[in-house]
Every structure is written in C-alpha cells, then in structure tokens.
Amino acid sequence: MNQKQRDISTVIIVNKGNQRTKTIQIRTKHLGRLKHYALGIFGIIVLLSVSIVYLRSQNNRAEEEKKQLLSQLNALKGTMPAAATEQKRASSAQAYVQDIEGKLQKINDYLKKRGLKGFSNKAVGGNGNAEAAKLTDSETYSLYDEYLDRLVHTVAFTPMGYPRISSLTSFFGYRSDPFNSAHAEFHPGIDFKGNKGDEARCTANGRVESAGWYGGYGNCVRIAHANNFETLYGHLSRITVKVGQEVTVGQKVGEIGSTGHSTGNHLHYEVRKDGKAINPIKFLTLNN
C-alpha cells in the first residue's frame, strides 16, 4: 500500500557554495521524534561513560587491595627476625603468634570470598595443639616464615584483577549465539570492549602454555599459574609472548583483535581451575 501524502515531509538541503539544493522525503512522525532520538543517543553515551569510569575505579580498588595484601604479608615476614630475638619473653612470643594467626585468618577470609581455597595453619605451630606445645619459639617462627613464603607465592600466582580496563560486553554463562540468535551457547569467560591493538595483560605470574591459533579463540594465549589455575586471552590480533616464557602480573601478552569465532574487536578472558572454566568475575576484586 502506498504511503499517504500527508504522512511524508520534504526536507530541503541548501548548499550555499553552489546554490544547489537537495530534497529528502521522510515520514512526518520521525520529525517530531528527533528530540527523543537525540536524548536516547545522549543517554546511551552517558551510560557507557559511567560504566567505563566505574570499571576503572573497580580496577584501581582491586589493585590497591592486592598491594595492601602483599604489603601485609611482607610486613609479617619482615618482623620475624626482630621477634625471634625476644625468645625469653614467652608471653610476648605467644601473643605475637596469635597476632599472626589473626591476620592470616583475615587473608583466608579474603581468599574464600573469591572462591579460592583457604590456607590451613594446623601444621604451622603455635595454634594450641599438643604438637605445637613441644616447639621452641625459634622453631615456631621458622615454620611461620616458611608458611608466609608459600602464602606470598600463592597470592602472586593467583589470577586477580583486570586483563584490560574497559566495559564488559559479554558475561560468563549461557547466552544467544552471536552468529545465530536462534541458538544458545555457553560462554566460558567474559569479554572486554576494546579496539584493535589495545594491550591485553596477564593477571598473575605464570608460564605460557600455548601462544598461537586455538580454534574458535583465534590467536590465543594460555598461561598456567600455581594451584592448577590457568588464564586464557582470546581473539588477539597480535601475540607478544612465546610458549615456555615466564610472565609476571601486568605484563603485556598480546593485542586485542577479532580473530577466530568473533564478530568484532574485543578481548575474551577466561579463568580455569583444574581445566574447568569458572566465572572470572569473582577474581576481579578481593571483595567478591
């Protein structure tokens, strides 16, 4: 059916340079909605800007928490020798050990909130059991020193924070297949918005297990970490690390792209435990 004449408006565009004009015919109802369209676009821009600011603040907060956690652990280690010189003061030594245990419990709570297995100090000493009572102060300090060494190592090698600061475009779990909206697929990670060439950074110390084409992930880097953790960075346009290379937290591993099973430039990020994908959201901040 032809559109009625009264439903069509003609917009005349005048070019002052050559005095030529152009006309465009559009539906009259759209002219009245221009303000609504403009407000809608402005609202989307504001929402995206707020999301980016929020994610950036969350990342800064996570980094600060991580620094405080590592600082606290190192501070505990640093006080060991000084405390060991006061072995004659048994009551003070016991109070010192109890203070350490309290701080370790707080660290354990942080880790458990993030879905990580906490640390047990039953075999460390100084926890009131029969075996601990047989230990000298020097032996107790030595055991705690070794224990804190392991704890610092585990925190450094556990994925934490953002591989890239930007808004999320897709989350962990089932979603519509971006290539066929009629079907659902399981998305084993989260996607970060980005432009081609933006940096992707590893989230923990580890060793590069693979760096190259990896099926639907396209150009992909997989990094193995302590405690059977693994992180994956997919759809990269360029890879900047090699298999077998030791990497540290925050190090660049590649550049964002749209290789493999992808509809546009973005970073696909996964965290795996014992080979099984788990939700990376809980690893973005210690407070999750």
**Which residue is associated with the tokens 């990580």?**
116
With cut-offs at 50, 70 and 90, classify the pLDDT of residue 200: very high
Check residues 143 and 92 and name the one with the higher pLDDT.
143
Angle at 20 between CA 15 and CA 26, to 5 degrees: 75
> What are the tokens at 124?
């460390």
CA distance 223 to 272: 10
Among 165, 191, 170, 202, CA closest to 269: 191
CB atoms within 10 A of CB 164: 19
pTM of the complete model: 0.55
Averaged pLDDT of the chain: 77
Q: How far is CA 84 from CA 96, 100, 143, 146, 247, in A?
A: 10, 14, 12, 14, 35
Is residue 261 a contact partner of residue 234, using CB atoms and an 8 Å limit?
no
Check residues 36 and 272 and name the one with the higher pLDDT.
272
pLDDT of 126 reads: 46
Q: 164: which DSSP letter?
A: S
Is 210 a residue whose pLDDT tops 60? yes
Please write the tens of the pLDDT for every residue from 153-164. Answer: 767 778 888 898
**Percent of the chain beyond pLDDT 70?**
67
With cut-offs at 50, 70 and 90, classify the pLDDT of residue 115: low
CA distance 250 to 72: 20
